[in-house]
């Protein structure tokens, strides 16, 4: 896996392991996740619910983290 900020690497690892108990802790309360089909998902619960049903995403095309190291914004690579 390429080098990313710890939040991105951690989230990808949790998703790959299907460890659904911890991803919400790595996501900021107001997180926005734009998936590959350009759906905008809001909040940790909605994002984790969608990730449970979708294939494991690749590294993001764009991301932002807050001062606490939690993910605030994720944009999947399109196509």
Q: Do the domain assignments include residue 12? A: yes
Q: Do the domain assignments include residue 10? A: yes
pLDDT computed for residue 79 by the predictor: 65
Q: Do the domain assignments include residue 1? A: no
Which segments of the chain have a pLDDT < 70? 1-4, 79
pLDDT digits (tens, 9 = 90+) for 1-15: 445 688 899 999 999
Tokens in use for 77? 């690579």
Round the average pLDDT of the chain to a whole number and report it.
Answer: 90
Tell me, what DSSP letter sits at residue 43?
S
Give the CATH number for residue 47.
3.10.450.50
pLDDT computed for residue 4 by the predictor: 66
pLDDT computed for residue 64 by the predictor: 95
pLDDT computed for residue 1 by the predictor: 42
Q: Do the domain assignments include residue 16? A: yes
In the chain, the number of structural domains is 1
Contact yes or no for 77/36 (Cβ under 8 A): yes
Structural domain including 24 reads 6-75
């Amino acid at each position: 896996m390429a080098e990313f900020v710890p939040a991105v690497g951690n989230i990808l690892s949790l998703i790959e392991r299907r460890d659904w108990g911890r991803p919400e802790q790595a996501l900021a309360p107001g997180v926005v996740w734009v998936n590959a089909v350009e759906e905008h998902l809001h909040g940790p619960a909605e994002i984790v619910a969608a990730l449970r049903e979708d294939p494991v995403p690749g590294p993001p095309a764009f991301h932002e983290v807050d001062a606490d190291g939690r993910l605030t914004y994720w944009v999947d690579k399109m196509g």
